[in-house]
Amino acid sequence: MTPPEKYTLGHHSSVLKAHTWRTIANSAQYLSPRLAPGVSLLDVGCGPGTITVEFADRLAPGRVVGMDSAPEVIEIAARFERPNLEFLVGDVYALPFDDDVFDIAHAHQILQHVADPVAALREMRRVVKPGGIVAARDVDYGGIIWFPPISGLDDWRDVYKRVHRSNGGEPDAGRRLKAWAMQAGFENVATSASIWNFSDATDREWWGSMWEERALQSAFAGDALDQGVATQQQLEAISRAWREWANSEAGWLGMPHGEIIATA
């Protein structure tokens, strides 16, 4: 039986806003050379489907399935309609497919949130054809850097990491992807890294305003209070820190990601 886990950010509107920004170009470029017409792909933890629908367009007529554990998110994703695309609710530990079905199983920002990422990778491997690949990309919160120095953002990272781990996940997942894949039995694991960067006024306002809101209204905020990790006053200070960063013309933030392509 897998350990208990909980999605740290929940599905508040500020969280879904970030998810709908994701594309192949900014979140799956490392996988792009493997995407060819006719290839089949399972997108585990697809969220609102913005990357998934691009996969469907790129791989057509290949079958693309987007899967997420949250029914309300799948309802949003289902607005995308393509002849080769389907969405369903499912569990990464018990994928509803036979062995050897897909050419690619893909997971973006998922393994950081599961309590047993090795088991998840093994299950993704099960549904991939021999010679197929399991691809994953996850952020590493320990590597996030920003300017100018704002103490409230140091507090934000500390609180976030504590809440994330209390919920059964690993916020520094990016650096662990290769090791997890090896533990899952993969012998051929190609690694890479890439970074999200937010610096110009539009990007600072977009990212900073999301966390300004998340710090007070998302599942993260509720868990931080319920678990005694932060007080309401501390969360309010974190929210203000994000506003300060967004308003700074010198503001810069980098979020590093680990990436793996593991051959089945």
Q: What is the mean pLDDT of residues 237-259?
A: 98
Model confidence at 89, in pLDDT bands (50, 70, 90)?
Answer: very high
Predicted pLDDT of residue 21: 86
Q: Is 66 exposed, middle or buried (0-12, 13-18, 19+ CB in 10 A)?
A: buried
Handedness of CA 42, 46, 51, 53 (dihedral sign): positive
Model confidence at 2, in pLDDT bands (50, 70, 90)?
Answer: very low
Mention every residue, 6+ apart, whose C-beta is less than 8 A from residue 203.
Answer: 197
Handedness of CA 35, 40, 42, 48 (dihedral sign): positive
Q: What is the mean pLDDT of residues 76-94?
A: 97
Q: How many CA atoms lie within 13 A of 46 on its CB side?
A: 33
Predicted pLDDT of residue 87: 98
* 173-221 pLDDT, tens digit each: 999 999 999 999 999 999 999 999 999 999 999 999 999 999 999 889 9
Predicted pLDDT of residue 1: 35
* 137-176 pLDDT, tens digit each: 999 999 999 999 999 999 999 999 999 999 999 999 999 9
Model confidence at 83, in pLDDT bands (50, 70, 90)?
Answer: very high
User: For the chain, which domains are there?
Assistant: 13-263 (3.40.50.150)
Predicted pLDDT of residue 156: 97
pLDDT at 20 over 90: no
Handedness of CA 196, 197, 202, 205 (dihedral sign): positive
pLDDT at 3 over 80: no
Predicted pLDDT of residue 117: 98
Predicted pLDDT of residue 10: 46
* 22-51 pLDDT, tens digit each: 999 999 999 999 999 999 999 999 999 999
For the chain, give the secondary structure using H, E and C.
CCCCCCCCCCCCHHHHHHHCCCCHHHHCHHHHHHCCCCCCEEEECCCCCHHHHHHHHHHCCCCEEEEECCHHHHHHHCCCCCCCEEEEECECCECCCCCCCEEEEEEECCHHHCCCHHHHHHHHHHCEEEEEEEEEEEEEHHHCEEECCCHHHHHHHHHHHHHHHHCCCCCECHHHHHHHHHHCCCCEEEEEEEEEEECCHHHHHHHHHHHHHHHHHCHHHHHHHHCCCCCHHHHHHHHHHHHHHHHCCCCEEEEEEEEEEEEC
Mean pLDDT of the chain: 93
Q: What is the mean pLDDT of residues 63-88?
A: 96
Predicted pLDDT of residue 16: 52
CB atoms < 10 A from the CB of 187, how many? 9
Taking alpha carbons only, the member of 117, 4, 99, 2 closest to residue 42 is 99
- Angle 33-47-73 from CA coordinates, rounded to 5°: 155
State which amino acid sits at residue 160. Y
Q: Any idea which residue has 């991939």 for tokens?
A: 128
Predicted pLDDT of residue 6: 60
CA separation for the pair 78, 27 (Å, rounded)? 20
